[in-house]
Chain A
Amino acid sequence: MNAATIIFLILATLLVISSLMVVFLRRVVHCAMALVVALLLIAILFITLQAPMVGILQVMVYAGAIMVLFLFVIMFLNPTALEQPSTARWGLAVILSVLLGAFLVPLLSQYEPGENPVSSTELFGSPDVLAKSLFGEFVLPFEIASVLLLVAIIGAVVLAKREHGSDGAA
């Protein structure tokens, strides 16, 4: 058991705990904060996996912007008064999910990496290499992703616009 494994186990335990909190807590704001913690832990895992750029992007984009958006919507809608007891077929759902987990876990733990992991260079996950890949091999998906984001912005504005003369007082 070296230090890397111990750090991984600590992070993994915290991550599982916060994911369980996301799913099982009663108040939605607490669930959102638990998800923020989970995202930050995943970002730390990314950084230990030699992907510093993607890790920081995860903090900036996911934990920094998307979750703030979630919190805005939660506060705007104020659904604490609307929280329903979450007992809709939970037994069946838990059984199915445990089956899913039990199916995936042995399958994945039998994975044998073909050769020794390729020793990566110092620059493996750095912004330079990521940028070269993005603008080199993957420039077409990059452009498509930017169009997708533009469409999402326009769509969100159109969808959330209040229509004139509507009687809802939201």
Chain B
Amino acid sequence: MVPLNFYLILSAIIFAIGVVGVLIRRNLIVVLMSIELMLNAVNLTFIAFARHLGSMAGQVAVFFVMAVAAAEAVIGLAIIISVFRQTRTLDPQNMQLLKW
């Protein structure tokens, strides 16, 4: 059986890659995709722990995280569509409306 640490390290790497994506990409859709990547890294951690501790709570938690991620992706994309209609761009740098 693969030791737990391997899975945790893998999740940490994926999470860090997701953070890089959120910070450096200037396209809102790719930012949203990086957030999904981070959520999946967390899911992986949950499942790994669920298996190693023999508890189903981890898998149930992943179930709910998936539902919440679906809801968040839907709302996020709807927001992106409305913002695009207003500003015709997907670059978050151009949407700093609080600063004139």
The 0/1 profile, CB within 8 Å of A marked 1, for residues 55-94 of chain B is 0110110111011111111110111111011100111010
Contact residues in A for B77 (Cβ distance below 8 Å): 69-70, 73, 156
Tell whether, in the assembled complex, residue A77 and residue B9 are in contact, meaning their CB atoms are under 8 Å apart: no
Given known A84-B91, A105-B13, contact A134–B63 (CB-CB < 8 A): yes
Tell whether, in the assembled complex, residue A22 and residue B78 are in contact, meaning their CB atoms are under 8 Å apart: no
Which residues of A, 22-81, contact B by the 8 Å Cβ criterion? 22-23, 28, 31-32, 35, 38-39, 42, 45-46, 49-51, 53-54, 57-58, 61-62, 65-66, 69-70, 73-74, 76-77, 79
Inter-chain contact total with CB atoms closer than 8 Å? 246
Chain B interface extent, by class: 35 or more
Chain A interface, number of residues (Cβ within 8 angstroms): 86
Contact of B52 among A77, A90, A113, A152 (CB under 8 A): A113
Dominant SS at the B interface?
Answer: helix
Distance between Cα atoms of A93 and B20 in the complex (Å): 6
Name B residues whose Cβ lies closer than 8 Å to a Cβ of A.
1-2, 4-21, 23-27, 29-30, 32-34, 36-37, 40, 43-44, 47-48, 50-54, 56-57, 59-60, 62-64, 66-75, 77-82, 84-86, 89-91, 93
Would you give 16 A-B contacts (Cβ < 8 Å), ordered by A? Answer: A22-B17, A22-B30, A22-B37, A66-B74, A69-B74, A79-B90, A86-B24, A86-B26, A88-B24, A90-B24, A97-B20, A104-B12, A105-B9, A105-B12, A108-B12, A138-B64
